[in-house]
Structure 1
Amino acid sequence: MKVRKESSRVVKPTYEGTPPPNTTYVPLSVFDKVTYNTHMAVIYAYCPPTPPNVALELGLQKALSVFREWAGRLGKNDKGDHVIFLNDEGVRFVEASVDSTLDQAMPFKPSASLLSLHPSLKGVAELVQVQLTRFTCGSMVVGFTAHHLVADGHSTSNFLVAWGQACRGLAISPIPLHDRAIFLPRDPPIFEFEHEGVEFMSETLKKEYPIVDDINDILVHKVHFTLEFLGKLKAKASSMNGGNKPYSTFESLVAHLWRAITKARSLNSFETTQVRISVNGRIRLNPGVPNEYFGNLVLWAFPSAKVKDLLREPLPYAAKIIDDAITKVNNNYFKSFIDFAKYKVETENLIPTADMNKSALCPNLEVDSWLRFPFYDLDFGGGCPCIFMPSYFPTEGMMFLVPSFIGDGSIDAFIPLFQDNLASFKQICYSLD
């Protein structure tokens, strides 16, 4: 699949009436500062009929007038604080084409070829980038990149839905909540939980992960889990929890994948393995934060186990560890984090543990779940996407879970593994033993 870039320009917000001042800024919150300092990319495919590029551009301009942060730039104010300048400098808008039909290019395999369907993630000033790639059959692929310091997956998906609403001539709803100053530390602060070595670490103690000499040694494997398989997995994972509420499909699947990948890696039985799992604070904090809050509001659960215990014990053992770890990241934990981030991070020169520059996470895993985001609601006027998937992120052990485009509740998992471990994983990934 050869993608031909035809044009590239900056698109700026359009306002009804007098534009707001472009000299203001929004300070990053403690949750923005602790997340990944990188662009993330997603890919949508649409079957014809699709609206013309000019309609998507006009809709984007309208959406940017409501979500001004995306049209701004990251930087520091005169006090040295990290901020988003609301300067309306705009986002990157690229038009491209392919001399084939979408069917001829399908299926989109998780490989480096996906990188041609969106702008580069490296060295980018714009906080959002869009690439519209047209196929000869009238199909369209939308490659979208967004800087994670500005917003988490929940907020980004809300923006994408708003872009679709604007393209269809609808009022943007819900209107985002932009106030990032709502996370106030307590006085006096209460450091109820340990955060150094969890969300933050000393730069001098930065953990070294395996260096991968050849990125081709890592293959991203896509696994499809049917609704029937997920039901059996959930029943088995919940079979020993004493009649309590069953574990979620997500917890059951992550427990299964944790065990399968650990086995495929052939790790030392006395080694410790952990999983990094995102936890949305909007429903955890008390009082709750509205779903319309725009920004980052995520911390992480870190279930861990000895390899020998994880593989010797049945699936419910892993599911319970995961459920316990997620449950721990509650209102008290979030507030303890706010206090710690405000009073300790700068004075002790700590840096976030979230790092996208690693090439391998072994013996650990990270799970990025997009199962609850309304990505499939992105309708530009020609209907919902026929495909939605992450771009190519060949970081060994960093998994993405997305709802299958089949739309029946099944799940697709994108799992990067060392090539030497892949054959073993394929043999056991559907085993319920």
Structure 2
Amino acid sequence: MKVKIGSSKLVKPFYEGNPPLTTDYMPLSVFDKVTYDQHVAVIYAYRPPTPPNATIELGLRKALAVYREWAGRLGKDSSGEPIILLNDEGVRFVEASVDRALDETVTFRPSASLLSLHPNLEGVVELVQVQVTRFSCGSMVVGFTAHHLVADGHATSNFLVAWGQACRGLQISPVPFHDRTIFSPRNPPKFDFEHRGIEYIPKNFKKVYPLIDNSVEDIVAHKVHYNAEFLSKLKARASSMNGTNKPFSTFESLVAHLWRAITKARGLNGLETTQVRVSVDGRARLNPRVPNEYFGNLVLWAFAKAKVDDLLREPLPYAAKLLHEAVMNVNDKYFKSFIDFANHKVRQEDLVPNAVADTKESILWPNLEVDSWLRFPFYDLDFGGGGPYIFMPSFSPTEGMIFLLPSFVGDGSIDVFVPLFRENLTTFKQICYSLD
């Protein structure tokens, strides 16, 4: 696919009245500091008719006036603490074209060709980048990249919906909640949980990587479609030993199934321990509850662990129960313990975020990480010609890093992006629909 870049420029916020000072800054919260220090890219595809680039650009500028953080830059305050400079320097806006029809050019399956549909993710000072690529058939692809230190998926999806509202001439609603200073530690602090080795590790800690024959070049990203009927059966199977308790969620049931199938496909040693890392949104878990409109990161992680022999020998409900309990344990008490620990122990013990080390990993074997985008309103990004007909993450071949998305079919089915080593993928394809 030959993508021709027409223009690349910085786009700044558009203020209706007097612009705010550009000397202000926003301190990063303890949740921002502990997340991934990298850009995340997503791809949207739209059928014609689509609005002109000028409409999309103006809508972006209006949305940036409400979400100023994206138009700023990362920096440090006088104490060396990380901050977002609210300097309105702007976001990258790229206009591009492809001299062919979209359906003839892009398959929208995980492949390196998707990387040409958004700006490069490395060495970027802008906190958001946008690439609008036009195809000869009138279709349009919007590639969007955003820095994870600024906001999590929940907050970023709210911004994307607001961008669409601004393009359609609507009032942006809801308005974001910007205050990142609300996570105060308790006095005295209470460390009810162990956070060393979970969210934080010692500065000079050396991770031990598994000895495996495969390399990054052997990783293949595969897309699996699970229809609503299969998911219903899977949920019933996962919840079959629950008795009078509430059934497990579709998410818990599907992740339990994937955990077992991938573990089997990898051919792991039975005595090895494998774990699944799952993001847990704290907005509804903290008491008092944090508004859904909170703009920033508010995620911690749950870890479900099992011996390979136990995971494969026990039925599906065993894995689903491990996942459910791990997620439920990341509750208000856990979040508050983390806030206290991050404020009192991190600097004292010279600890660094575990996610910083994880960012550099391309192979998660024998573990998995699951990024669920099932509840984010990504399909609501409407620039004026209707919502996208395809939404997906960009190509990211990290072995064991799984993405769950609602299928664009809109019937309750789920698409799963599974990067595995090529030699393990054949077995995974054979068993990924098995209910045994």
Give per-residue Cα distances to partners, 1:127-184, cap 9 Å, x unaligned.
Answer: 0000000000110000000000000000000000000000000000000000000000
CA displacement at 1:203 relative to structure 2: 2.7
* Aligned counterparts of 2:5 and 2:163: Cα–Cα separation in 1: 23
Q: 1:39-58, aligned counterparts within 5 Å?
A: 39-58=39-58
* Aligned counterparts of 1:410 and 1:101: Cα–Cα separation in 2: 27
- Helix, strand or coil for the counterpart of 2:154? helix
- Helix, strand or coil for the counterpart of 2:347? coil
- Helix, strand or coil for the counterpart of 2:122? coil
* Alpha-carbon distance change, 55 to 212 in structure 1, aligned in 2, over 3 angstroms: farther
Query: 1:399 aligns to what?
Result: 402
The one-letter amino acid paired with 1:199 is E
* Aligned counterparts of 2:204 and 2:308: Cα–Cα separation in 1: 28
Query: 2:392 aligns to what?
Result: 389
Give per-residue Cα distances to partners, 1:66-93, cap 9 Å, x unaligned.
Answer: 0000000001011211000000000000
* Aligned counterparts of 2:213 and 2:415: Cα–Cα separation in 1: 26
1:362 aligned onto 2:365: yes
* Aligned counterparts of 1:216 and 1:114: Cα–Cα separation in 2: 17
Give per-residue Cα distances to partners, 1:43-102, cap 9 Å, x unaligned.
Answer: 000000000000000000000000000000001011211000000000000010111111
Query: 1:172 aligns to what?
Result: 172
Which moves more between the two structures, 197-206 or 281-290? 197-206
* Alpha-carbon distance change, 212 to 14 in structure 1, aligned in 2, over 3 angstroms: farther
* Aligned counterparts of 1:275 and 1:214: Cα–Cα separation in 2: 21
Query: 1:95 aligns to what?
Result: 95
Report % sequence identity.
73
* Aligned counterparts of 1:203 and 1:362: Cα–Cα separation in 2: 23
Give per-residue Cα distances to partners, 1:2-37, cap 9 Å, x unaligned.
Answer: 111111000000101110000010000000000000
Give per-residue Cα distances to partners, 1:186-213, cap 9 Å, x unaligned.
Answer: 0000000111011111133342335887
Query: 2:159 aligns to what?
Result: 159
CA displacement at 1:110 relative to structure 2: 0.3
Query: 2:134 aligns to what?
Result: 134
The one-letter amino acid paired with 1:313 is E
* Aligned counterparts of 2:215 and 2:52: Cα–Cα separation in 1: 41
- Helix, strand or coil for the counterpart of 1:37? coil
1:284 aligned onto 2:285: yes
Query: 2:309 aligns to what?
Result: 308
Which moves more between the two structures, 355-364 or 48-57? 355-364
Query: 2:341 aligns to what?
Result: 340
Which moves more between the two structures, 106-115 or 304-313? 106-115
The one-letter amino acid paired with 2:36 is Y
The one-letter amino acid paired with 1:168 is R
Query: 1:254 aligns to what?
Result: 255
Q: 1:4-19, aligned counterparts within 5 Å?
A: 4-19=4-19
Contact persistence 2:214–2:421 (CA under 8 A): no
Contact persistence 1:212–1:360 (CA under 8 A): no
Give per-residue Cα distances to partners, 1:274-316, cap 9 Å, x unaligned.
Answer: 0110000000000000000000000000000000000000000
* Aligned counterparts of 1:236 and 1:125: Cα–Cα separation in 2: 48
- Helix, strand or coil for the counterpart of 1:413? strand
* Aligned counterparts of 1:424 and 1:152: Cα–Cα separation in 2: 34
Contact persistence 1:92–1:130 (CA under 8 A): yes
Query: 1:21 aligns to what?
Result: 21
* Aligned counterparts of 1:158 and 1:199: Cα–Cα separation in 2: 26
Query: 2:427 aligns to what?
Result: 424
Of the three residues 409, 412, 417, the one matched with 1:414 is 417
CA displacement at 1:361 relative to structure 2: 0.2
* Aligned counterparts of 1:107 and 1:394: Cα–Cα separation in 2: 17
Contact persistence 2:276–2:304 (CA under 8 A): yes
* Aligned counterparts of 1:127 and 1:157: Cα–Cα separation in 2: 15
- Helix, strand or coil for the counterpart of 1:10? strand
* Aligned counterparts of 1:389 and 1:120: Cα–Cα separation in 2: 17
Query: 2:332 aligns to what?
Result: 331
CA displacement at 1:215 relative to structure 2: 3.0
Query: 1:222 aligns to what?
Result: 223
CA displacement at 1:126 relative to structure 2: 0.0
* Aligned counterparts of 2:289 and 2:412: Cα–Cα separation in 1: 28
Query: 2:33 aligns to what?
Result: 33
* Aligned counterparts of 2:213 and 2:121: Cα–Cα separation in 1: 20
* Aligned counterparts of 1:84 and 1:386: Cα–Cα separation in 2: 34
The one-letter amino acid paired with 2:416 is A
Task: Identify unmatched segments of 5+ residues in structure 2.
Answer: none
The one-letter amino acid paired with 1:13 is P
TM-score normalised by structure 2 residue count: 0.98
Which moves more between the two structures, 285-294 or 205-214? 205-214
CA displacement at 1:108 relative to structure 2: 1.4
Contact persistence 2:43–2:392 (CA under 8 A): yes
Query: 2:194 aligns to what?
Result: 194
Contact persistence 2:50–2:138 (CA under 8 A): yes
Contact persistence 1:277–1:302 (CA under 8 A): yes
Task: Identify unmatched segments of 5+ residues in structure 1.
Answer: none
CA displacement at 1:219 relative to structure 2: 0.3
* Aligned counterparts of 1:349 and 1:100: Cα–Cα separation in 2: 54
Give per-residue Cα distances to partners, 1:212-243, cap 9 Å, x unaligned.
Answer: 87533000000000000000000000000122
CA RMSD of aligned residues (A): 1.0
CA displacement at 1:106 relative to structure 2: 3.7
- Helix, strand or coil for the counterpart of 2:150? coil
TM-score normalised by structure 1 residue count: 0.99
Contact persistence 2:365–2:399 (CA under 8 A): yes
